[in-house]
A and B are shown apart, each in its own frame.
Chain A
């Protein structure tokens, strides 16, 4: 199981829980797992999210590996100027 921290406005979609556990070994499995357990989060995922894995931000790569002891933080999609 991977522990996922939910930050920002995303917690409204997870019954206010900020720490979730999902069975996942890749970014895609993580996102699918979250959408299965918390359907309310799906629109947010569709709009795009950023995921910090061990301190580095990932946006799109489904196959990015996630290890059981990885620190995973789900954030709204980050955009620059």
Chain B
């Protein structure tokens, strides 16, 4: 079993890695690149904890092979803040206490950012359906939905 050489970019940084033919993108991010901000909750695409974007599209990184990432642009939670400046979603999640244990938070933030990019003014129902693929077991989602809607509001005001 020889490894596959892949050239890609992660959060804007050029990255090269070797991966096995069966390694998922999630395995590559966590185990080869040491980017453990992306979490594994199920490995079957059901929980959304491993949400990342590939060429701007929201995916579960446990359902994509690392080898398929050749030439693509990958976005993860580690790239969400701009240096010291948190993304409004990150700030609002802290302010609204939208996390308890925090394990689902990176995936939910990545998914929420993707929502606001395609729909800057989501209704509560649209937000709930967009995030239906991201499980949170602690919060009952109430404060998460409020944080996303509040961040959307602030981003609209600012733009």
Consider the complex of A and B and state whether they touch directly, i.e. have CB atoms less than 8 Å apart: no
